[in-house]
Structure 1
Amino acid sequence: MSRKQDLCQEVIFNEYFNQMFDETVAPVQLDTSEADEPKTPKTQWISEKSDGKLACSYCQVIFPDVQVQREHYKLDWHRYNLKQSLGEKSSVTEEEFNQKTANDDISSISGSDSEEEENSLDTYATAQGKMFLKNKSGQIFSLYKCIFISNKKQEVSEINYYKKFKETCQDNKQWTILMLGGGHFAGAVFDYLTPVVHKTFHCYTVRAGQGGSQSSKDGKSGGSHPKSAGASLRRYNEQALVDHVTKILSSWSEEIKKSSLVFFRASGPYNRGVLFGGKEPLLDRTDPRLRPIPFSTGRATYAEVKRVHFELCTASVYGSLSEAVSQFAQQKTPERDSRRGKVRTINRAKSREVVERPLPGAPSESNSDDEQEANIVSALLEVSFEGLEEFTDSLTPEQRSLRKKKPKKSKNQKLKEKEEARKKNLIDIASKGNVLLLEEVLNERLKTFDHMSKESVAQECFNEALDNDGNSFLHLAAMNEHEDLLQYLLNNQADPCLKNKNQHTPYTCTTSKLSREVFKKFAKENPDKYNYNKAHIPTNALTEEELAEKKRAQRKVKRVKEKEKKKENHLKQQEEDHKQRFLNLSDREKRALAAERRIMNVQGKVIARCFLCGVDIAGKVPFEYLDNRFCSIDCLKGHRMKSTQKV
């Protein structure tokens, strides 16, 4: 919209808005009634006739007795004037009040439904999470309150709005938006209106149909957690969600530190635990830059994050106070929108008519001549009990005894259920990777078997098959990729050679590189403790230093080979050069060169070449004609044909 209009939407980062937001900006707290009716100071009403008599100073009337005064205090006229007095407005007479209520307009009578309260700037600002500010030019700004206020207990009058605005919107225009809910994560860091980094992803963590996260369901179910495939998938995805969010925010740590404000939405204790829970929380609750998003949002998507950012950094600019009042008065608050249909109105200014009704027990007055006396007729009836029979039960005594007695569980069945519950608890501990709880289990077992050593108890405790597949603690820890738990178990007599029913060892159960490194490191530090070939753990794995030395040796061998190959290529090139120079000679020059070589190398090797192709024919029987020598008969024929063509 154009800036010349009385109302426009401005991005608070713009230079135009920064010029309007000067040091004189202060909050506005004013009702709309100021634009229509000026406040008149309340003056004390003193009547000469009221001296020593009963009177109402709000309505300015005198009463003859106490009963009339009490009735007056119950009238809506008195309540209306009382409300006018609280607002420092003048009172109205009874005739004026009757005119106001003649058209069934009673909206101004009730304190909860008053127009002044509904149409006040403060009420509208509270409903929208905003606040209204005014500069020296009389312009009104509507901004979200969370941009300036971080603490709910902080007073509005104590804030330096220009300083806060300069810190968060002028000097540093980088904001961070984070949204988490229902397994959806969306986040972005904006510099002005441009996203610097952004990321969205979704994990299946919410129970379809029933809603709620799997962790909350497990917390309510006690020790017996659901065993379905969906429940297991949701538990895994909850941990994956935490890992993904941790990884993303860790990679964004530098950008988040640069941000002047960090807005977040994390609905529910689980989502807030992702951001603020744990020993090292991703976000610090005491960070003064943290702000919850002050309005309702949709699903966490990148489009929603951009919408939230644009909504937060957009301000409404009104030309004047009267214009602001007229603009927001047209909008409806949630309470006003919730009213549907017409309200039944009653003129409460008039007294209710007294209708005399007879008491419930009082006899009504009537002519006794018109009434007829009722004759009461009595008769004697004989009742016979001859047809009654004794109650018969259709159940046999055995069936009746079975219905009364509940089947009792045998001792073996109780022990079996107790053992299953114990193994479920241990499986849950191993699946979550809780080392502290596992230490408590070991300490309790040590107290029970105090006559045994710690190594024996740990070996018996941690090498137990926990589920129907024969998986031990090491199997479960390796499947769930808990490296700390793996290290703790291996240091406390857990056997890596154990196999489950599928003949898999703990090492082969995991595909995690970090988990396998834990096994390799333990095997290298304890080479004689277990048969690592049986455990399928490679023991010939090289250390980082050994790998570096091996690579250096390979590079050295490669350099030597390249040097030899280069030398060989150089010799071949020299040979080709000599060969080409020989071929460029005429036949006479070739014969002269051959004769010269023979003379020079009487005592040594004589180099002789074919007159056509230039191949070395030393030590071979050449093919000759006219003192021309060749390596083969084909070269001889080719030379003769060449000589013939020249002739």
Structure 2
Amino acid sequence: MTDLQISIQQKPLSVFSLPEELLSALVAVDQETETEVQIEWKQQALVTSQALQRLEINEDQDTLTCRTCDITFTSTEREQHRKHYNTDWHRYNIKRRLVLDTTPVSLIEFEKLLADLSDSISGTDSEDTDEESDTEVAHDRVNALVGKQKSVLPDHDITKNPNEEGSLLQKRYSAMVWFNAKPLLSGSIHLGIYRTLFSTKTADIAAVRALQSKNYEKKPRYWTILMLGGGHFAGCVVDVNQSKGISEPSVEKQVRLVTHKTFHRYTTRRKQGGAQSSNDNAKGKANSAGAQIRRYNEQLLQKEVRELLSQWKSYIDRSELVLVHAPSNNRKIVYGYENAVLTKENPAVKTIPFVTKRPTLSELKRVFLEISTFKVIEVDEEAILAHKNKAIEKEEKARQLLEKSKQQKPTTSSTKPKAEASPELEKLAGLVKQGKTSVIFSYLSKHKDINVSSILPSYITAEDNGRFPTLLHMASHYGHRSLVESLLMEAHADPTVKSEGGKTPYEVAKDKTIRSVFRRCMHELPDKWAWLEEARVPSPLTLEAEEEQLEKERIKKEKEAEKIRLIEEERLRREAEEEAREREQKAAEEVRKRGKANVLVAKALIGSQGNMANMSPEARVRLEREKRARAAEERMRRMGGN
């Protein structure tokens, strides 16, 4: 290891002050191999994940797979395989395919996405605020994550398959341009610069030399960095010539600011996340006080940001680079208004090419240091080559499987006998929808020429758009358990016939109980049909296993019912206690009122001689009555004493 190699690994370099010996030795990484792999992958892009999900063949019948998440389980991990379908990871990959129309992510990538979710919802850093708590986070993390990614889809290509980057190096650092410096440095050492720094798409050694500070000794050199999100704004103008970069020990000298400004307005809906304007556009305007405050603050934030940009216009026009982070609806604050200072057509205006935190002054400085720092990593070239070969083999294998499945598809439905239009079949289809098993088999006994596996006429299946072409499809979809079992076990209906959409009767089953019938029949008649490959029934189910499943479900329902009962009893107990407490309070209030009345009467008795003239006639009557009652009580007391 050379002294230069040791030096650059121990002390980071600024891209604006690279040593001359390093600049002279820099060579762009040879892209021929990388380009060849990328071209071949683009040619094979027709073999997409969506096509692979329509494959009708499993590679190994001894393994359990989840084609949505692209993972496998051994035959002994059946329980883990079942539990996998209830995880947030699996739910997210399904929504990623249906909503975002893209490929699945690994478990590690999913956890990283969840870790970043809270920042985008609240517009704050990882620390909590006084107005938010863990219980105020959106209930469904998966829906929140998908909604967040869907909102940023136009600017950030989140649907891009990471495997399409070309190599481990590009996959991790796709925003970088990479060089090496052989023989000055080892061939495994790669040196990177952010593409954002280059004014042209092609980044060569001449472009690197143009970045050096010595070219700007006699003229000012400014960068403008603007960040806006979650009601937070932070902006600054950096004097690049006076900024020493991360290699400077003194923090004050690392980034020299010409001017800066930060402020915050309450615009984010705390519990659900997102701006108030977004919620208004989606659900209509809310009339709450909080909604009105947020609408006012959004207008105020927009006004303040645009006024600040107008004040900084001279700096922005002279800036070599303008870095803007304004995701989602925040873009309309800085772009697209009348006499806008910033325009997307300006080549100097670029987005920040990495993940950022809450807009603060320290985050602005971090962004500058991150972009201006020369990246040095050591990469195992053999591992990169192995990764390329593995990816090529995987795509080739997928292509072969897809071609094989396409060749087998025509034979599945075209070889099935197609029934002619007949009133018997029309009546039979109506009985199947009603689930009348005994009537159906009585009808079949009278019309023995009817083939229960035949494709129904189009005029019968037209209302279902051809999704249920056979009687077994209909019975399975409408959830008639006994009818499905009788068709499979007694009438030997073919479970491998597929609909126009490529679905088997098992795949259109209404619920788990219907799917269990298919698995039971797979256990009873293992050699009758190609259950796994053609009918797509995943595994057989014994009677004991089914009873065990039913028992577990029964116990689970009993526990849920018991839990509901206890909750109801607790609610009734609390209501009874509350009613008793209210009655006690009312009784105490009555006693208090009567006691107060007695005190008033006693006072009246004491001062009756002087107050009789001021009393009303009714009060005098009551007073006289009270006097006579007290006198009678006194006589009774004396008589009792004698």
**Is the pair's TM-score, using the shorter chain for normalization, greater than 0.5?**
no
Q: TM bucket by the smaller chain?
A: 0.3 to 0.5
Q: Which structure's CA Rg is the greater one? A: 1
Length-normalised TM-score, structure 1:
0.33
TM-score (norm 2): 0.34
Q: Which has the higher contact order (CA 8 A, sep 6+)?
A: 2
